[in-house]
Amino acid sequence: MVTIKSKREIEIMKEACKLTAQTHEVLKEAIRPGISTLELDKIAEDFIRKNGGIPAQKGYPSGIKGVPNFPGTICASINDEVIHGIPSKRVILHEGDIIKIDLVVLKNGFHGDAARTYIVGKPNSEEDQKLVEVTKQAFFEGIKYATKGNRVGDISNAIYEYVTRNGFSILKEFQGHGIGRQMHEDPGVPNYGKPGKGMRLEPGMTIAVEPMVIAGKPDIFELDDGWTIVSDDGSNTAHYENTILITEKEPEILTLG
């Protein structure tokens, strides 16, 4: 179900989105060689709770029999892991690693969702640096079309065209989504599609737009933990996401500090 937020609801939701952005800033400062992803997870949870929020991903149901609920505050995905990496004390960051951190904050009944890709220290290659930059810019290329009267497919097509034009692949099996009182609402926001297709955008809609990009071929597989999605050919990956508000004019990015 698509929800159109009132002005009052949007103001409340902005608090969750602000805390999401602030948490990313705290994590950005903490990322360094030698730190574990579990340590980053604790930093995020402590900061969120200290500021009146709830880590919404912690305990999120897998929906699959035999697969436990997600145990972390953040998804921490390294190198060839695209999304949903589980924080662990055994996963230690090294110079040149590419870490994707996806986090969702629940505050006062509303959610804020954002993902960032960070290179630990110096990149191992120019391609790694380009991968991160292209993925981030793909988000901004997409939201150029996130305006009243346009359709979801306009956003999706812009993301896909920009990523593939730069020599990378789009992860097609997962997508962005509506967001508000629920973490995942309608509409789905794929990272590929046809312009002029899909749901029409209306002021008051809040959506999470999130390009997920693979340096090599687009094929993926799921690890035995039932959560982590990995590139099939072992190539590096990147992820960039913000929660945005559709307005009467330009979209408003709610999860930028």
The predicted-structure confidence for 52-71, as pLDDT tens digits, reads as follows 999 999 999 988 999 999 99
pLDDT of residue 205: 98
pLDDT band at residue 257 using 50, 70 and 90 as cut-offs: confident
Average pLDDT on 104-120 reads 98
Domain ranges of the chain: 7-253
Confidence class of residue 78 from pLDDT cuts 50, 70 and 90? Answer: very high
Question: Does the reported pTM lie above 0.95?
Answer: yes
**What's the whole-number mean pLDDT along residues 84-106?**
97
User: Which architecture does CATH list for 7-253?
Assistant: Alpha-Beta Complex (3.90)
Measuring CA to CA, which residue among 248, 212, 26, 240 is closest to residue 113? 240
Position 46 scores a pLDDT of 98
Does 1 score more than 90 pLDDT?
A: no
Over the stretch 129-166, which tens digit does the pLDDT of each residue have?
999 999 999 999 999 999 999 999 999 999 999 999 99
Q: Does the pLDDT value for residue 92 go beyond 90? A: yes
Q: How does pLDDT run across 166-218, given as a tens digit for each residue? A: 999 999 999 999 999 999 999 999 999 999 999 999 999 999 999 999 999 99
